[in-house]
């Protein structure tokens, strides 16, 4: 794996201050809905009603919830793509002011990158793989990386494409539609890795993929985060995925944190009734199918 030699290794991650890498305090976000009556105030929907969370350097947090729980809103706030009505997002103790000018957050984006859900929709159909992966490098170039110039950038593109298991020489000049779903998600991961981030925020990274490809992409994510010492925030409705990749779990319901703690504890002995219901709802594929639970009548 000499092609990844220049990627930062896990060793660098250990010598850090005890403060959390990413934290959120009292996040609230309310959306205004379309007006029903002309003279009445517009109705509102409270997407988040005070969410706190913490991710340590090299740690991994899984955010679980059903549709409407506020997962997407939380992701937007954690990524600084939107401004919270109340509360703060802090990265290494510094406030991440979302919704402002993109340049003001360049420092944050160099460290925190995003792996979106739909690997086809998140890649510009009119850009070649090379340009897609180069995008964060171009946008986030600072004094230290600007000196590398185009050659350095190309080298970095090849590096990250290798790191996600793609043949750089072959894929560089291709367009997204020429790849399968799993390969596209690899490209999206390569794009996120390009600026040497310390934290990946992944929004349902495998839910659009076939089960056999899912294993490969999860395997890749687990391998990369371990090898590079990356912290991971993973949003998913799939408890199996969270169980596989995350040390900590946060259960979100109706914009509030329902339960939070080490994955093993939350998934094995949930304290909240909602979490228990959620766990019980997952159809399981026991190794012994005869003992697999079948659903009885609902009522």
Partner 1 sequence: MSGILRALLRHRSGLLGLVLVSVLVAAAAVSWVWTPYDPTTTDLKARWVLPFRDGHVLGTDMLGRDQLSLLLVGARETLAVALLATAIAAAVGLLMAGAAALAPRWISASVVQLVDVVIAFPALLTAMVLAAVFGGSLWTAASAVGIASGVHVARVTRLEIERVRGTDYVLAATASGSGTWRTMRRHVLPNIAPTLIVQLSLVMAVATLTEASLSYLGYGSPSPAVSWGRMLHDQQPYIEARPLLVVWPGIAVALTVLGFNLLGDALRDATDPRLRGSGVGSAAPGGVPESAAEGLPKHGSAAAVPVAAVAAPASAPLLTVTDLTIRVGARILVDGVSLSLAAGERLGLIGESGSGKSLTSLAVPGLLPEGLTASGSIRIDGVELLGRPERQLAGIRGERVAMVFQEPLTALDPLWRIGRQIAEPLRLHRGLTRRQADEEALRLARRVGLPDPEHIVRAWPHQLSGGQRQRVGIAIALACRPALLIADEPTTALDATVQREILALLDELTREQGTALIFVTHDLAVVASVADRIAVMRRGRIVEHGPLGEVLASPREAYTRSLLAAARATSFTPSPASPSAVPPIPPSAPSAEPFEPSLATEATT
Smaller CB separation from partner 1, 16 or 128:
128
DSSP tag of 164: T
Q: Which is nearer to partner 1, 236 or 260 (CB)?
A: 236
As a whole number of angstroms, the distance between CA 85 and CA 234 comes to 23
The smaller minimum CB distance to partner 1, of residues 19 and 282, is found at: 282
CB distance 132 to 119 below 8 Å: no
Supply the minimum distance, in Å, between the C-beta of residue 27 and partner 1: 18
Of 16 and 92, which has the nearer Cβ to partner 1? 92
Cα 79 to Cα 77: distance, rounded to the nearest angstrom: 5
**CA diameter of the chain:** 68
Tell the smallest beta-carbon distance from residue 37 to partner 1 (Å): 18
Residue in 25, 74, 55 with CA at minimum distance from that of residue 253 = 74
We find the least distance from the C-beta atom of residue 275 to partner 1, in angstroms, to be 11
Within 13 Å of residue 227, how many CA atoms lie on the same side as its CB? Answer: 16
CB of 75 to partner 1, least distance (A): 10
To partner 1, the closest distance from the beta carbon of 149 in angstroms equals 19
Q: Give least dist CB 291 to partner 1, A.
A: 10
Give the long-range contacts of residues 253-257, CB within 8 A, separation 24 or more: 253/65, 253/66, 253/69, 254/49, 254/68, 254/69, 254/70, 255/46, 255/47, 255/48, 255/49, 255/50, 255/51, 255/69, 255/70, 255/73, 256/49, 256/50, 256/51, 257/51, 257/52, 257/53
Which residues are registered as beta bridge partners of 61? 233, 248
16 or 120: CB nearest partner 1: 120
Beta carbon nearer to partner 1, 91 or 179: 179
């Amino acid at each position: 794996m000499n092609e990844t030699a220049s990627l930062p290794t896990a060793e660098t991650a250990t010598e850090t201050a005890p403060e959390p890498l990413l934290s959120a305090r009292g996040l609230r976000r309310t959306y205004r809905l379309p007006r029903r009556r002309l003279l009445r105030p517009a109705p509102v929907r409270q997407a988040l009603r005070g969410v706190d969370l913490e991710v340590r350097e090299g740690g991994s947090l899984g955010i679980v919830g059903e549709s409407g729980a506020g997962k997407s809103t939380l992701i937007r706030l954690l990524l600084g793509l939107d401004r919270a009505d109340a509360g703060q997002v802090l990265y290494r103790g510094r406030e991440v002011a979302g919704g402002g000018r993109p340049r003001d957050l360049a420092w944050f984006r160099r460290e925190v990158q995003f792996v979106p859900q739909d690997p086809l929709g998140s890649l510009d159909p009119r850009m070649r793989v090379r340009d897609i992966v180069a995008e964060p490098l171009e946008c986030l170039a600072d004094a230290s990386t600007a000196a590398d110039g185009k050659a350095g950038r190309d080298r970095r593109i090849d590096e990250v494409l290798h790191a996600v298991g793609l043949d750089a020489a072959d894929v560089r000049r291709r367009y997204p539609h020429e790849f399968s779903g799993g390969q596209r998600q690899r490209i999206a991961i390569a794009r996120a890795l390009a600026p040497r981030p310390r934290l990946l925020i992944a929004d349902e990274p495998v839910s659009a993929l076939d089960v056999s490809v899912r294993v490969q992409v999860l395997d890749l994510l687990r391998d990369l985060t371990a090898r590079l010492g990356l912290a991971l925030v993973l949003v998913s409705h799939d408890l199996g995925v969270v169980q596989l990749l995350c040390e900590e779990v946060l259960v979100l319901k109706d914009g509030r944190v329902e339960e939070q703690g080490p994955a093993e504890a939350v998934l094995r002995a949930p304290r909240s009734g909602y979490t228990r219901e959620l766990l019980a709802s997952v159809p399981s594929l026991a190794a012994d199918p005869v003992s697999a639970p079948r659903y009885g009548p609902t009522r």
